């Protein structure tokens, strides 16, 4: 019976996390690109286009305008997998100490 309750709690937690708002701390920590909303990306695109247009109107003299720096995804790191059975993990997590 204990495992049924645990699986229900994990399932509930999964659905809660999957339905968090885009600007929540948890979602932003998983991928920094979520720090910006769609309107922020559109605004940055408009600023980039306007600065490039101004550069072209000036005859293309001087240095080219830099684009607005956008959030970059986290670099993928190789995850280390432990050689531990699921039973051992449950013992460590759920047994009394």
In a domain, residue 56? The reply is yes
In a domain, residue 7? The reply is no
In a domain, residue 17? The reply is no
Domain count, the chain: 1
**Residue 77's pLDDT is what?**
65
Instruction: Name the band, by pLDDT with cuts 50, 70 and 90, for residue 55.
Output: very high
65 token code pair: 């305008």
Task: Identify the domain containing residue 27 by its residue range.
Answer: 23-68
**Residue 29's pLDDT is what?**
79
Rounded CA separation 29/6 (Å): 26
In a domain, residue 83? The reply is no
In a domain, residue 14? The reply is no
In a domain, residue 11? The reply is no
In a domain, residue 1? The reply is no
Per the prediction, the chain carries an average pLDDT of 81
In a domain, residue 74? The reply is no
Q: Kindly state the average pLDDT of the residues 10-31.
A: 82
> Residue 2 pLDDT more than 60?
no
* DSSP state for residue 21 in the 8-state scheme: -
């Amino acid at each position: 019976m204990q495992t049924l309750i645990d699986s229900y709690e994990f399932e509930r937690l999964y659905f809660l996390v999957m339905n968090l708002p885009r600007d929540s701390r948890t979602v932003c920590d998983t991928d920094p690109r979520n720090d910006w909303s769609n309107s922020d990306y559109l605004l940055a695109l408009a600023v980039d286009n306007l600065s490039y247009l101004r550069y072209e109107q000036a005859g293309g003299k001087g240095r080219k305008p830099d684009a607005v720096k956008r959030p970059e995804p986290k670099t993928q790191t190789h995850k280390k997998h432990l050689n531990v059975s699921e039973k051992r993990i449950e013992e460590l997590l759920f047994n009394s100490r």
